[in-house]
Structure 1
Amino acid sequence: MSAPRTVLVTGAGRGIGRAAVERFADDGWRVVAGVRDVAAAREAYAGRQGVHVARLDVTDAASVREAVAEAERVAGGALDCVVSNAGYAVMGAIEEVDLDEVRAMFETNLFGAVATVQAALPAMREAGGGTVVFVSSVGSRISNPLVGMYHASKYALLAAAEALAVECRPFGVRVASVEPGMVDTDFPRATRPTGRAPRGEGPYAPLLSGLRAGFAAWRERNPTPADEVARAVVAAADGEGPFRVPVGSDADELYGGRTAAPDDAAWHDDLVAFLRLDWPRRRPARTR
């Protein structure tokens, strides 16, 4: 009887990460749950077979190296899969967003994801197999107002993932980008607001008010459960599926709408309508 496969999941303390850990464990994998709060995670996973909790802060290079080494000890060698899931959002109009907050977000969403892959990939490459799954977002193909820098991090992550997929072709390592739409988790609580709009001030305050209502309506229309995303993650780890994996009817709708729009201006109108925003386009004033 062969040994169970081993997967490392980052950002495994809540939301999609936790759902992925539980789904992998239910499917017979050994799972290393990478978290920042080890005590809370051990309590959350108490009694669940096949789950090993490891401290992992993707913004701390030493923590990444130590967690991957610990995961490889659990595996008895190279990991069979790495799921890069840790991430959060910064909110703010491009004109006002706090760039220090944006840099910190990129450390988690992009550089932390790449650092984890850099630590795990050499052994996977030498072993001649494995899968890297990036938990991304519909926001890697579209960009909503006031969370543009979050989307920028996801666009950047997709670029890195696609390059990685080609780089790993001779080594038997597959790469997938799982891209859900609106997921029914507490992710909004992890969003960090910046600028004047969250205080109800400045020119973008009405846009934020409308966006909050639009996101709430979107969540009500398309409450994709975290377990549905987790199933897509496990399927990507398991099989020979596509590089890009949309999850949720809203993801399909938005991808299709972007492709079908005759031009960018039409798509922007469609996106404003999808979000139910009262944010009309004004013709530029004449200049001398």
Structure 2
Amino acid sequence: MEDKTITTAQLAEHDNLWWDLVEFFASIDPIIAALIATTFTWLVTAAGAGMVFFFKTLNRSVLNMMLGFTGGVMVAASAFGLLGPAIDMSEGENFVKVMPSVIGFMLGALFLFGLDKIMPHLHINFKNPEGPKTTWHRTTLLVMAITLHNIPEGLAVGIVFGAAMEDLTMINSAMIIALGIGIQNFPEGFAVAMPLRREGVSRRKSFWYGQLSAIVEPIAGVLGAWAVTSFEPLLPYGLAFAAGAMIYVVVEEVIPETQRDKHSDVAVLGFMAGFVLMMALDVGLG
């Protein structure tokens, strides 16, 4: 198999902003790198939520396409950026080699399953809240649903940066994941703010709640980076954990939300576009 490890000599051959950033992130603490990257993804969400100031409504088919796009990016990031490296860095052969990824993946899914049961929330397309009964307003429940969605995204970025240490190949992968999640966070921020506006919330509050839903990403990112840098044997488990959490969100939340009306086909096209984009970024920048 071809060795794709990036060496310092190869890095020097590239003279562009991307590789300058790779070198920069290689020179700083992984936890700080995770904080910077997840702050970027949060700010992109805020930019998407800011579109509420320029649009009065959001067409249902456009919303479905945005949600599908988000799901496609998350699945591709899980497959190419998280599970692949998790398996590669595991020791042993055959089933022994894949077991850390299997365990981590299932724990990530169970983690989101648990949060889904203990935190009241309301998905965009659903009529009834999920989780424990509460007197919280629908607006708060909508924001809580997207906040749950953003936890695994922050974990994914943070854990990969934590796993990278000074490995240029892994740092490059971490940056690709952060970029992909940042790209999908723009339509996601818009897709959060507009339903809030439709609920009668003011434009300013819709923006505020929309961007606030992603504030959890820097928190989760820092925690994820700290965990894998403090307990190095957890690296393959941590990568797979983030993948399992993201796939759980896609299957439990994103896909069902896009399949409840006549615009489901548009959502599928959005999903395919998101998956292809993330795959192209992984190969093109890898």
Mark yes or no: TM-score above 0.5: no
| Larger fraction in helix | 2
**RCO higher in 1 or 2 (8 Å CA, sep ≥ 6)?**
2
- TM-score for both structures, normalised by structure 1: 0.32
Q: Structure 2 length normalisation: TM-score?
A: 0.32
> Per residue, is there more strand in 1 or in 2?
1
